[in-house]
Structure 1
């Protein structure tokens, strides 16, 4: 299967990039495994003009609109291998399908790596959350826990004081004098005894079990999630990674080009953000890829003889 651009990942960044390229009348193939990062949340908030819409509904509408463009094709499946050669890029799917193109966009997102605490993963996206701007308002105030154990967690606890009455569970990580002063100024309570389990009938209530046997009732718990690449394609291609406060990201330039010629990246895999920022980065990638294609098409071709 031959096309001009392959986009791996049909969520907000991938669809936004595909839309730009389709409107530039370029042939695009979107490969999507149907596992967007926000699939654990029932609704999406902070999206201008669509606040509170279910992320799945937003993606469904975007996909329908995209597929109205005749130059767009869609493959439902998992991309498992990718390589760059002299003639462009090649992507293999789990079912054996092979696709080739001039350019490749990785809009594959990241995988959230939660702390290994029983009961935490089951409540991810419900009463265990990560982004106050996405979910804080809906918690509705009251007792809110912030789980520490990673760098910057104390600052997040101070930030979250605008959304409720905060208890910061330090999980054994030392708190500096400056952090303690900031937390005190913001009215944040500090609990040094580690959280060892999470209980509660979601989404009605949440109870944190501490190492000393005490229980702490909370309306929600904001927990750190370290970022890992959601696909092996990044490593296979040799894309350069950079460290971030929450893990690793793909290193890209202003046009979303990675360190590998012909390979681009956009969305959560290359920037810490939300739906709006992922969509914006997808637009930037789509435009960047189109400019690169035009530049290649503008070069004089060798004449015979």
Structure 2
């Protein structure tokens, strides 16, 4: 039996494994090899790895973990979980059953792409969600923002640290007169109409086509589609969740423990509102250390 099974081997899961491996705890990491940021050409804001492709960072991390004899990295999908603290069973898609005293859920979330031609194809390249991740490279250029609700008003204020040229696409959302007045005060262009197509030009530049025959070209387009967990294991376990503007997230305490003793969660699955590799790595490390300390005798 393992000390810990980690389900999800991206930044949060591998960070947890590193802490546990260094504590000489026996760990198995189950991963399908489909991290959320695989569409991004570069990752930014991670100290020591700024402007490196995220898949390259993960490959290097996995290579570094190989020197820890108690860590096993397995490419497999976890299909179900049963048991309780000190005696969990994880059943995988290849018919295997693994046991562990503790579990860490770090299988992340998936973005729910709108049914707009060109959106999914340009996601992570010309259409991005995070100014901290991509804003510096396109500072003082023409940004576009697809409005997705009240949270978008805060994004407008946030983006002004990077650019003074911003166009907002309501895309069918009702923007109240007082918010429209505030956007006008900030010299933000409001381009009404529903988006029917997004076409990529050179580099990150895209042209947004609307159902009123208007089209607008921007240097980069920001969007915040809703998300959902990439697996449903937490549902079968009955773990508590919280609603966020982006979707549901697992409820965890300051030690990253969920509502079920012995199960921890980290990364976007338990913090979708501030998704970044730095946050995921930090939360993963906390989850790993918390799981290890919970087994002390």
Fold match (TM-score > 0.5): yes
Corresponding residue for 1:76?
75
Corresponding residue for 2:280?
278
Answering whether residue 140 of structure 2 is matched by residue 141 of structure 1, we say yes
Q: Which stretch of the first structure deviates more once superposed, 177-186 or 112-121?
A: 177-186
Give me the whole-angstrom Cα distance separating, in 2, the residues matched to 1:188 and 1:201: 23
Give me the whole-angstrom Cα distance separating, in 2, the residues matched to 1:282 and 1:199: 37
Give me the whole-angstrom Cα distance separating, in 1, the residues matched to 2:204 and 2:16: 38
Give me the whole-angstrom Cα distance separating, in 2, the residues matched to 1:119 and 1:108: 27
Larger Rg over CA atoms: 1
Give me the whole-angstrom Cα distance separating, in 2, the residues matched to 1:82 and 1:206: 44
Corresponding residue for 2:197?
197
Deviation for aligned residue 1:177: 4.2
Contact 1:146 1:167 in 2 (8 A): yes
Answering whether residue 290 of structure 2 is matched by residue 292 of structure 1, we say no
Contact 1:29 1:73 in 2 (8 A): yes
Structure 2 residue runs without a partner (length 5+) = none
1:39-95 deviation per Cα after TM superposition (whole angstroms, max 9, x unaligned): 000110111222101111111111111121111111111111112247521111111
Contact 1:155 1:179 in 2 (8 A): no
Deviation for aligned residue 1:287: 1.1
Corresponding residue for 2:267?
267
Deviation for aligned residue 1:178: 4.2
Give me the whole-angstrom Cα distance separating, in 2, the residues matched to 1:100 and 1:92: 9
Going from structure 1 to structure 2, the CA distance change for 1:267 and 1:204 (only over 3 Å counts) comes to closer
Deviation for aligned residue 1:193: 1.6
Corresponding residue for 1:63?
62
Corresponding residue for 1:162?
161
Going from structure 1 to structure 2, the CA distance change for 1:36 and 1:250 (only over 3 Å counts) comes to same
Deviation for aligned residue 1:154: 2.4
Q: Which runs of 4+ in 1 moved over 4 A?
A: none
Q: Which stretch of the first structure deviates more once superposed, 245-254 or 78-87?
A: 78-87
Answering whether residue 166 of structure 2 is matched by residue 182 of structure 1, we say no
Q: Give secondary structure in 1 for the equivalent of 2:182.
A: helix
Corresponding residue for 2:98?
99
Corresponding residue for 1:302?
none
Corresponding residue for 1:36?
35
1:247-304 deviation per Cα after TM superposition (whole angstroms, max 9, x unaligned): 111000111111112211001101133000111001110111011111xxx2xxxxxx
Deviation for aligned residue 1:152: 1.1
Contact 2:4 2:26 in 1 (8 A): yes
Going from structure 1 to structure 2, the CA distance change for 1:151 and 1:204 (only over 3 Å counts) comes to closer
Corresponding residue for 1:122?
121
Going from structure 1 to structure 2, the CA distance change for 1:182 and 1:84 (only over 3 Å counts) comes to farther
Q: Give secondary structure in 2 for the equivalent of 1:47.
A: coil
Corresponding residue for 1:110?
109
Q: Give secondary structure in 1 for the equivalent of 2:269.
A: coil
Structure 1 residue runs without a partner (length 5+) = 299-305
Give me the whole-angstrom Cα distance separating, in 1, the residues matched to 2:203 and 2:114: 20
